[in-house]
Amino acid sequence: MDNGMEGMLDTYLFETNSLLDQLDEMLVKDEKIGEFSSDDVNEIFRIMHTIKGSSAMMEFGSLASIAHHIEDLFFYIRDKGIDSLDPAHKKELFNLMFRSEDCLRGQVEKVENGVPLDTDMDDFATEINNFLKKISGAATEEPEPERTESPAAAGGMSADHLPEDKDAVCFLHVFLDEGIGMENLRAFMIVNALKECEVEFRHYPADMDSNSETTAIIVEDGFYLAFTDGDMATKAEDILKSQGHIRSYELVMAPQPEPEPQKDTTQGPAAPASQPAAPTPKDNPQKAPVNAPVKQNLISVNLVKLNDLLDIVGEIVITESMVTSSPELGQLSRDSYDNFMKSARQLRKLTDDLQDLAMSLRMVPISGVFQKMNRIVRDMKQKLGKDVRLTLVGEDTEVDKTIVDSIQDPIMHMVRNSMDHGIEDTSEERVTAGKNPQGEIILSASHTSNEVIISIADDGKGMNPDTILAKAREKGILVKPESEYTKKEALGLIMLPGFSTNQTVTEFSGRGVGMDVVKKNVESVGGVVSLNSEEGKGTTFSIKIPLTLSIMDGMKVTVGRSIFTIPIANIRQSFKISEEEVIYDENGNEMVERIGGFYPIVRLHQFYGISTEITNLAEGILIWVETSDHSFCLFVDDLIGEQQVVVKPFPAFLNCYELKNYGIGGCTILGDGNISIILDIMSLHVAALENV
């Protein structure tokens, strides 16, 4: 695929996924009130029209076909009004639209993954058409075998058989494709398409939209468009060329009561549409009003380009720092140095603003992820038979695009877990427990200065730590006696791979896959998952994630001649100790007591094999770090200070060394040009303590 086609495909996928997200949000909202608004009917028609056109352009036939059939359905609903459907039909329409959305998403996913699309969509298309027949009252109508007043249409019509319209100067005689079904509605859709383009005409049969008996007439004889203006006929011809399901059409001049000498009144049927006898244009034709183009204030930008921009901004920040800390500045005179530093401060302000602006380009509202949970809850409500409402709080909170993509699956798993495990099975159970018969799941987001906090809380039955411990013992995943597990540690066992409290495997849970994936995915973006539950009252999952992965606040420390950066989010405290405060466990490992707890000490110089003169714990500094449920202390030589750093990944040729497994999460370039290793506290704990 060349760059041009690849760019078109990216644009197509972005636009189509955005439209499907918009459709999903609209369907969930409307189903809650049990009614489509007229605006939403028009919007769904527009969405399907757009997907149909763009899919046809990209030659994705299955997508274009389904979108086209849904477009036809909503064309009829839009014309007749949503109130023409009874409640049963509306409920069936909601279910049909949700399945249509899933079908379209399935095909889009195949496009994204490079998998061949389905070629046979006839069954689903037939289902849509049958529903259209049902709501239009045409489901039980049989076309009449023959009509004595309807002449054969095979050879085109003469003026004797034209509709009686004294004001018409010409007619367009239109024939539809054979066997398309619901010809009267197809013809009426073409009529409306012309009217939307402000073409003035009359159509025959005039009652094609409400009289299903006109189907047989249109099948046999086609339908007519009558014009009092030749220019309108020409305009209509141009529009007909872009309409679907048209087999052919021809221009027929109306008989003139007083034929002019230059006109040949013995002329037979007019030439086919491909060679029309074009009517004489008027001297001053009325032009249809043209809508002024709307100024576009939003554009879509490839994420790779934003990443490149952020990299360049990071290089500018680093270079600016290198320039302002250059030792050559000491050779300047006092006045020259002051002038330089004044300019440097202004440059620093501009680079900070540029950095903030570049970061904001990557920030997107978390509402896109939150709104998708409405669909998860809706589907599970129907399949589990539970009455649950989803409440969204803080959905305008903005997070880095990369992080948003990474946390969608964890949030989905936790919402499904709350629906399946958390909320009671029946309303009677909730009433007996003194609760509202309708369960509630609250999905909320808020942010502090450098992290976003997402919580998923339900008011269900909660978790029993004893039950979790018993299940863990049964599966053999306990690492110490049950009596030594705190409540928090017992609840945390559900995050282990293979753990499930469900006794039976269902569509949604019971296989022991899910919560361990949640933990892994959240930690992969530097986040932490915590759990709190009270039996009989409910369960709350909390996720803490950084606002962005590209820039972070870090504490620079020295170990020998090396400089490490520790994320501020992981640091609880830094302190000095004496030799007497060091405690040894049964294996001789060093530990230190802090606020009622005992924490192991990791000597970075030993772990990484770095030469240093400071090996006595009393001479260096201990930094108490915490990640997820793990806390320990790092022994370093000294603290340099806090600094906001630009996180840079390692070159690809270093991937074979799997540095992540050794507690190294990336690197940053300091103002003096030196490289500082950024520590990944979670993987460092695994490498230094769990694998000992």
**Total count of residues recorded for the chain:** 692
The one-character DSSP state at 190 is H
Q: What is the model's pLDDT at position 7?
A: 67
Structural contact between residues 47 and 19, judged by C-beta atoms closer than 8 angstroms: yes
Q: What is the model's pLDDT at position 601?
A: 94
Q: What are phi and psi of 9, to 5 degrees?
A: -65, -40
- Checking if the pLDDT of 287 tops 50, the result is no
Nearest in space to 391 (alpha carbons), one of 404, 372, 376, 374: 374
- Checking if the pLDDT of 375 tops 80, the result is yes
For residue 144, what are the contacts with CB-CB under 8 A and spacing of at least 6?
Answer: 213, 216
The one-character DSSP state at 256 is P
Q: How many CB atoms lie within 10 A of CB 10?
A: 12
Give the mean pLDDT of the chain: 80
User: Does residue 502 or residue 184 have the better pLDDT?
Assistant: 184
Q: Could you give the dihedral angle defined by the CA atoms of residues 500, 503, 506 and 508, in that order, rounded to the nearest 10 degrees?
A: -30
Note the pLDDT tens digit of each residue in 389-411. 999 998 888 888 878 878 888 88
* Sequence spans of domains, the chain: 3-136, 159-253, 304-362, 364-546, 551-690
- Cα–Cα distances (Å) from 5 to 2, 9, 10, in that order, read 6, 6, 9
Classify residue 409 by burial, with Cβ atoms within 10 Å: 0-12, 13-18, 19+.
middle
Q: Domain spanning 551-690: which CATH class is it, in words? A: mainly beta
What's the CATH fold of domain 3-136? Four Helix Bundle (Hemerythrin (Met), subunit A) (1.20.120)
Q: What is the percentage of the chain residues whose pLDDT exceeds 90? A: 13
Query: Domain 159-253 maps to which CATH number in 3.40.50.1820, 3.30.70.1110, 1.20.1250.20, 3.40.50.880?
Result: 3.30.70.1110
Q: Label residue 153 by pLDDT band (50, 70, 90).
A: very low
Q: Which CATH architecture has domain 364-546?
A: 2-Layer Sandwich (3.30)
Q: What is the model's pLDDT at position 628?
A: 67
Distance (Å, whole) CA 319 – CA 325: 10
Q: Which residues of 357-396 are buried (b: 16+ CB within 10 A; e: fewer)?
A: ebbeebbbbbbebbbbbbbbbbbbbeebebebebebebee
Note the pLDDT tens digit of each residue in 35-68. 888 888 888 988 988 888 888 888 888 888 888 8
Residue 500's beta-bridge partner residues?
none
- Cα–Cα distances (Å) from 136 to 25, 81, 130, 216, 278, in that order, read 27, 12, 10, 16, 37
The whole-number average pLDDT for the span 618-628 is: 89
Distance (Å, whole) CA 624 – CA 573: 5
